[in-house]
């Protein structure tokens, strides 16, 4: 199993299991129809990397830098990706399931048919991202930043929303009734409205 990556390399139909690619520096790598299980990408620098028709399970993507990444028809389940930087990325038909994605950087990224289900996205940054094709279900979005994001059609269902930033960018977002009460307090705070306690 190759444990080092080269610039502009294309890897086709390879199954990576318990392979350590941590810290790997390579630009423009393409993974086509690959499977990753317990693979280590921690601290790797893979600008413009592409994952096409891939399955990623219980991998470690923490602090991986993947600016301008392209993900197409990819499923990532049970992955640890704290501090992952995917700014200016393009994601199409991607599913994140039960992932630890806190403090991730998605600034200026575009999401098309992307789902986050049961993920910890606390402190993530979606500044100026195009989230019109994204949905969040049972996610922890505490302290997540949505400043100047495009969110018409973005869906939220049973998420933790405490301390989210950029709430005024949520125009057109679709929110489950269970999330509406918490969201109303956040919106009131953003508008400078003081909510009086019921016992006053």
Q: What is the pLDDT of residues 131-164, one digit of tens each?
A: 999 999 999 999 999 999 999 999 999 999 988 9
Right CATH for 10-190 from 3.90.79.10, 1.10.3210.10, 3.40.50.10320, 2.160.20.80: 2.160.20.80
Residue 72 in tokens: 């197409």
Instruction: Look at residue 114 and tell me whether its pLDDT is greater than 70.
Output: yes
Q: Residue 22: which pLDDT band, with cuts at 50, 70 and 90?
A: confident
Listed range (3-7, 84-88, 172-176) with the worst mean pLDDT: 3-7
What's residue 178's pLDDT? 81
State the average pLDDT over residues 1-18.
86
pLDDT score for 197? 64
Q: Among 42-46, 82-86, 145-149, 195-199, which is the least confidently predicted range?
A: 195-199
Distance of alpha carbon 86 from alpha carbon 68, whole angstroms: 7
Q: Beta-strand (E) ranges in the chain?
A: 10-12, 15-17, 30-32, 35-37, 50-57, 70-77, 90-97, 110-117, 134-137, 155-157, 174-175
Note the pLDDT of residue 149: 98
* pLDDT of 59: 97
pLDDT, residue 63, reads 97
More confident residue, 2 or 14: 14
Mean pLDDT of the 72-85 span: 98
Over range 44-64, report the average pLDDT: 97
Closest CA to 188 of 159, 160, 174, 168: 168
**pLDDT recorded at residue 198:** 65
User: What average pLDDT does this structure show over 7-17?
Assistant: 94
Average pLDDT, integer, range 173-182: 84
The domain segmentation of the chain, as residue ranges, is: 10-190
The three-class DSSP label of residue 12 is: strand
């Amino acid at each position: 199993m190759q444990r080092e990556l080269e610039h502009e390399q294309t890897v086709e139909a390879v199954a990576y299991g318990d392979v350590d690619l941590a810290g790997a520096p390579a630009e423009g790598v393409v993974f086509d129809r690959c499977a990753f299980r317990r693979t280590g990408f921690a601290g790797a620098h893979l600008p413009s990397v592409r994952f096409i028709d891939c399955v990623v399970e219980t991998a470690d993507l923490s602090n991986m830098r993947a600016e301008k990444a392209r993900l197409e028809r990819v499923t990532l389940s049970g992955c640890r990706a704290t501090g992952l930087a995917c700014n200016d990325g393009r994601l199409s038909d991607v599913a994140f399931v039960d992932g630890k994605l806190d403090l991730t950087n998605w600034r200026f990224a575009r999401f098309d048919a992307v789902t986050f289900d049961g993920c910890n996205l606390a402190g993530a940054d979606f500044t100026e991202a195009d989230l019109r094709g994204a949905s969040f279900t049972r996610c922890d979005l505490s302290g997540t930043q949505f400043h100047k994001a495009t969110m018409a059609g973005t869906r939220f269902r049973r998420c933790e929303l405490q301390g989210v930033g950029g709430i005024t960018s949520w125009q057109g977002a679709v929110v489950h009734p269970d999330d509406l009460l918490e969201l109303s307090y956040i919106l009131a705070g953003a508008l400078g409205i003081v909510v009086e306690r019921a016992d006053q």
